[in-house]
Structure 1
Amino acid sequence: MEKKKVAFYTLGCKLNFSETSTIARDFSKEGFDRVDFSKKADIYVINTCSVTENADKRFKTIVKQAQKANEDAFVAAVGCYAQLKPEELAAVDGVDLVLGATEKFKITDYINDLSKNEFGEVHSCEIEEADFYVGSYSIGDRTRAFLKVQDGCDYKCTYCTIPLARGISRSDTLENVLKNAAEISAKGIKEIVLTGVNIGDYGKGEFGNKKHEHTFFELVQALDEVEGIERLRISSIEPNLLKNETIEFVSTSKTFVPHFHIPLQSGSDKLLKLMRRRYMSDLYVDRVAKIREVMPHACIGVDVIVGFPGETDDDFLDTYNFLANLDISYLHVFTYSERENTVAAEMDGVVPQDIRKKRSKMLRGLSVKKRRAFYESQLGTQRTVLFEAENKEGYIHGFTENYVKVKTPWNPELVNTLHHIKLTEIDEDGLVRFDFL
């Protein structure tokens, strides 16, 4: 009997990628063959995101794509948007099953019968029930693996739906994280990226236990000892949770790389208060200064939101100038979009869409300048590069430990290998060329 085929599409963050991979491994255990999303499959699983409005619109497009490949296929939606708006997703033409936060890891239990449903069937929960932890990591899609160490969030930022979509902050056990890291290492993967919703809050136990079993710093120390992993990268971490002890440890670590991604959201203290962030801009300045003191060559990325309610031209310029004067390497710019059931959606001082777009464009331009200046500062230095698996127009790309993106003519033998190089010049596409050492 021919095996049933399953295909996956992931929207959103690294955490979603790690969870899709885990769900895919469950399907493999049940005897399914995984195929590319563009191919004909019996089941299409879409892991959704709710961070921006575009994710909502893209969902419908992706369902159509699945139906085009096989109009009789069974379509399931999981993930954050499936938790927040299950009825809305179930109403999309072609969707058969919608699983919320507690159900997504049991998806194989729900698909004994693959006949199309007249209406999408919903199995979602009250988010308070999402109080258990499912460890996951992504593998096989990339030369690096995303290892989930934490889920959910206890912060109450006024613009964010993630606590509604993923529940309270809870963590994997240290023992299980180390076991997953060792499994990844055994598969020959060279780099692990730590991921979660609020990873600096690592250590809170299950079932709403607010006591930290271990701290994030202890997690970092323990992972540094895992055999066979060449590189460990900390993904996004809140500035108030990135402690000096962690920064100092990374600066002398065997495997943790000098790359930090630290959400700022605004350079205006007035807006940080409105957003209910847990720090003011001076703490952010201190964090950047500390990293630069012990790792002058580190890459520092920043998240920033423009067009938040109440953001005047002066507030925006405060943010722009704050970032322009800060020794950082690149920006991820998010244009504020209203999300239902958030405090910010009810706030006064709505910023018109055209102004949001203009501010976003200005910060994206600043990001290009920052990245260029950072790359220029690295020319002439010796670094280690890990090469990716894709042939892009005759070139292979890779990233140095401090996240400089490099290119060289395609050579399949370089895939997933590490090499010592010297950075030599910036190409017209903004990537860096190098000499092998």
Structure 2
Amino acid sequence: MIREHPESVVVVMGCYAQTAPGDVLGIEGVDLVLGTQDRMKMLEWLEQVTTERKPQNAVHEIWEAEEFEELPQLSEEHRTRALLKIQEGCNQFCTYCIIPYARGPLRSRLPENALAEARRLVEAGYPEIVLTGIHTGYYGQDLRGELGEEWNLAHLVRELVKIPGLCRLRLSSIEPMEYTPALIESIVSSDKVCPHLHVPLQSGSDRILTRMNRPYTLHEYRDLLERLRQRIPNLAVTTDIIAGFPGETEDDHAATLEFVKACGFSGINVFPYSKRKGTPAANFPDQVSRQLKAQRVKDLLLAARVSQEEYVRYFIGKPVEVLIEWIDSQGCALGYTPHYIQVKIPANEAGRPWTPRHFVTVVLEKGMVGRV
């Protein structure tokens, strides 16, 4: 790339740049290391790099960050669902995770800014907004006492669903301990909030959860799912599992498989444990071999497929609402239901092409189901 564009300036940003700026700056051809903050100052730094003609390290201590960094919303006309970031940083320090070291402390976006961007997205034609963040459920904790009223995720959801023209509001990953009674009430009180919640589990062994520094037990997790399903019929629950965490025994793995099967997840993201330099777990002595991690991933993926099929079976033969996201080369429409079931709809028999960002109701057939 540098040979093809010798006059270009190479800028490296992101988590690796934040946690190892010296290593990144040592890479031949890198001109500027910026990390995960101060990105709005990029033009200033580019001017300095071009003027001084020497590489610059613009990274500073991430735990000095105190405010959510507002970045301009980029136009993405090919997207149907708009992502609305409301929070940055994490104070949890799970033993396997580099995010607190790379993204810094909890910082919530001011509610007036989040609501204003949501209105702009709706006006731009996005029928669905997905709330995102690092520790989304803790939104507002750092704003207490600053705004004259208490703001949390429950309050923000109540305000967002009032926006005229917004059809769907989807919540991204929210940790088990973050589902407060107020948040659950906000979810169930509006039909705009999608009946799909992502609740990370990570392991089905209490012993491993403790080693991960996850602040809940399996009993608490199971109790949460029961409370959510009592309030939200046919709720889709997706989750994350880490396979082969240091110290995970065959008994721990078997317990995770059994717990996963009992939870009735509609979708599961499975990841083999991967060392992150600088995290406690990277130095744990009882690392699991790559071969064993690969086998455990296969076991969990099989359980995930069975669980998804069992969940989707309820909807077969029933009408479902699909938000069309894109059209394939054969004219078939692909989109998602509120429960995050991917549906493939055959080409329109009437000859009219399907249109992205439009809703259509179809009777779901088994051959139409993609993934959850």
The answer to whether TM tops 0.5 is yes
Q: How far has the Cα of 1:117 moved from its partner?
A: 9.4
Aligned twin of 2:30: 95
Distance 1:85 1:159, change over 3 A: same
1:103-182 equivalences under 5 Å are 103-112=38-47, 120-136=55-71, 137=73, 139-140=75-76, 141-182=78-119
Amino acid at match of 2:359: L
Amino acid at match of 1:133: F
Which of the residues 351, 360, 364 maps onto 1:423? 364
Distance 1:349 1:250, change over 3 A: same
1:178-327 equivalences under 5 Å are 178-205=115-142, 213-327=150-264
Q: TM-score, normalised by structure 1?
A: 0.77
Q: How far has the Cα of 1:247 moved from its partner?
A: 2.9
**Contact kept? 1:135, 1:148, Cα under 8 Å:** no
1:331 and 1:399 mapped to 2: Cα distance? Answer: 17
**Contact kept? 2:169, 2:192, Cα under 8 Å:** yes
Aligned twin of 2:14: 79
Q: How far has the Cα of 1:412 moved from its partner?
A: 5.2
1:390 and 1:368 mapped to 2: Cα distance? Answer: 25
**Contact kept? 2:136, 2:153, Cα under 8 Å:** yes
**Contact kept? 1:151, 1:169, Cα under 8 Å:** yes
Q: Percent identity?
A: 35
Relative CO higher for 1 or 2, CA cutoff 8 Å, sep ≥ 6? Answer: 2
Q: How far has the Cα of 1:194 moved from its partner?
A: 0.3
Runs (5+) with no aligned partner, structure 2: none
Amino acid at match of 2:366: E
2:6 and 2:330 mapped to 1: Cα distance? Answer: 33
SS in 2 for 1:387: strand
SS in 2 for 1:414: coil
**Contact kept? 2:331, 2:354, Cα under 8 Å:** no
Q: How far has the Cα of 1:293 moved from its partner?
A: 1.8
Q: Which moved more, 1:232-241 or 1:336-345?
A: 336-345
Q: How far has the Cα of 1:116 moved from its partner?
A: 11
Per-residue CA deviation, residues 173-204 of structure 1 (Å, 9 max, x unaligned), is 22211111111111111111000000100102
**Contact kept? 1:139, 1:184, Cα under 8 Å:** no
1:338 and 1:162 mapped to 2: Cα distance? Answer: 13
Q: How far has the Cα of 1:85 moved from its partner?
A: 1.6
Q: How far has the Cα of 1:340 moved from its partner?
A: 1.4
Q: How far has the Cα of 1:150 moved from its partner?
A: 0.7
1:385 and 1:69 mapped to 2: Cα distance? Answer: 45
Aligned twin of 2:268: 331
Q: How far has the Cα of 1:115 moved from its partner?
A: 5.5
Runs (5+) with no aligned partner, structure 1: 1-65, 433-437
1:375 and 1:330 mapped to 2: Cα distance? Answer: 10
2:359 and 2:203 mapped to 1: Cα distance? Answer: 37
**Contact kept? 1:204, 1:212, Cα under 8 Å:** no
SS in 2 for 1:426: helix
2:226 and 2:233 mapped to 1: Cα distance? Answer: 9
SS in 1 for 2:326: strand
1:413 and 1:191 mapped to 2: Cα distance? Answer: 18
Q: How far has the Cα of 1:233 moved from its partner?
A: 0.3
Amino acid at match of 1:349: D
Q: TM-score, normalised by structure 2?
A: 0.90
2:312 matches 1:371:
no
Distance 1:86 1:352, change over 3 A: same
Amino acid at match of 1:318: A
**Contact kept? 1:169, 1:208, Cα under 8 Å:** no
Q: How far has the Cα of 1:426 moved from its partner?
A: 2.5
2:127 and 2:94 mapped to 1: Cα distance? Answer: 35
Aligned twin of 1:402: 339
Would you tell me which structure has more strand in proportion to its own residues? Answer: 1
2:151 and 2:355 mapped to 1: Cα distance? Answer: 38
Q: Which moved more, 1:121-130 or 1:305-314?
A: 121-130
RMSD (Å) for aligned C-alpha atoms: 2.6
